Every structure is written in structure tokens, then in C-alpha cells.
Structure 1
């Protein structure tokens, strides 16, 4: 009877905590079990940063890749901000307002799914009276979002999706000047 109570006490003593979750021991001795837990905790988790340093994780790759993409977006939106007025602005070489009007005529005079499918851009939903301001706004919003991702090194699907939509909103109305970017 004493051996069964000792074994239940030993099995309870084999309970260990790992990041707050109790786990049952796998039958190792108490000393080797606690050493294993300490070794695993010290190698897998950096308490200061809170980043998992476990092999097989891709945290460094994710940060580098996101920052590289954000840098490319930042450069693209900066170039667009500096050149849109001269290339596709209201008094530019190939105004995007004229292009959007011709697409509107081509699809039957309505701004709807046909026009959006032919030339996907958020410019369809904006006021066309000041197209330069619209183009600058898209470029500045893209610069702000990509700058945020560049500095922070992290983003979610929504931010990356918005960057993609903003970039393609400019590229799709850029005609000859942005045709190489598609």
C-alpha cells in the first residue's frame, strides 16, 4: 500500500510546468526531467524578447522578407508621388482621367463591375475633379503603410492587401508609363 501511495506522489511530483501549462512527465527520473525542462526553456525561448528561438521557426526570414517587400513598396510609392502629376496627372503626358473616361465609354457608360474588371483601381470610387490630389493621396497612403511595415518589421494580411490594392490602383491607370510593372 505504501508503494502505491509513493508512486502516486512520485507521479504527481513529475508534473512539470512549461510556460504555465502543466505537462505530465514521460517516465524520466525527477532530476533528469527538471534538467530537461530547464534546458528546453533556456534554448527555445528568449525571455527578454519573447521570440521563439526554436529551430524550424522562420521569424527572422519573415522579418527580413516583410521589410524587403515594404522597402520595394516604399520606393515605388515615392517614385509615384514624385512623377504621377507629370505622367498621368490632370496636365500630365497621358492623363489618367481621360483613360478612365475612355474605359467608361468602352464598357457602356457605367462605372460598375465591368469597368472595375477592365481597369481595377480605387480611383473609380473617388472624385475625379482633382485627380492630382487623388494620385498623391494614394501614393502618400502607400508610403505611410509601407513605412510602417518597414520600421516595425511586421504586418498582417490586411495591410499587405491594402498595399497591393493601392499599388495596382496606380499601375492600372498608368497606361504606357506603368505597363512594364504588371
Structure 2
């Protein structure tokens, strides 16, 4: 990976909506070369998606429940955790899945409309997988920061600073 490619990746990771003209000025690379670099990185699956961070708590009709589920599994000979991970990430409710160190092997992040919907996912889908030994579910109560973006920053302190 070239320094130019790394520089572009760092910039678009912060703002995927940045226009090519601005990106070209920031990197001193012409727009056509930027397009070619972005296309190459997309084809190589370095850039997987361009996404938006939404504060869903401000959209009452779209509120959802997010849960992090710690999962202990029995790895299979020859494929380790990959086979069971693939079975889990294929469920539509699964937003993210991570191989973890520590007491649990996998962490599954899921979203649902209600806590009962998540409970049904755990009991009917996740726990029924042969390799799954145990689960521990944690419900997200409030989001303070996600992908480097702070939610609901406090208002600026408008008091006059008084020093002796």
C-alpha cells in the first residue's frame, strides 16, 4: 500500500462524503488519480462500504434495541472458530461479529425492535447452534460515542472565566 493510498483512506474514513476536488487539494493528487485509487481500493476490498452514523435515539419511530452477546463456543478441528462464526454472521439480526480474547470466544452485536425479539434470537437461533456452549447478553442503554463520533455533546459553558 502506498503512502498516497494510506492518506486517502485516513481522510475518507473521517468523511466519506468529501468531494473529489477537496480530496485532490488535500492530497496534492489530481482527481483522476484519486478516482483510480478509490476504485482499486474498492476492488481489493480494502474499502468495503461508505456509511453514515445516525443517532437513532432522535428518531422515535425507528428506535431499536442493541445487544452485545458474549458467546463461548467449541471450535471445530481444522476450521477453528470460522465455521461457527460464519453461521452466526449470516443471521440478518447480526450487525457485527468479533473473535475475542478472554473468557468468551465471540462477541455478537445484534439489533431488534424489542428486548423480547433479541431474547428470541438468542434462545431460538444462537443457542441452538451445536458449537455454542453459553451466552451472556448485555443490552445497550445509551450510546455516548461510536466510530469516533460523540453523541449528545454537552452544551458549551457560557460562564465568564474569572481568575484572581
Could you tell me the TM-score, scaled by structure 2's length? Answer: 0.20
- Specify which structure has the higher proportion of strand: 2
Higher helix share: 1
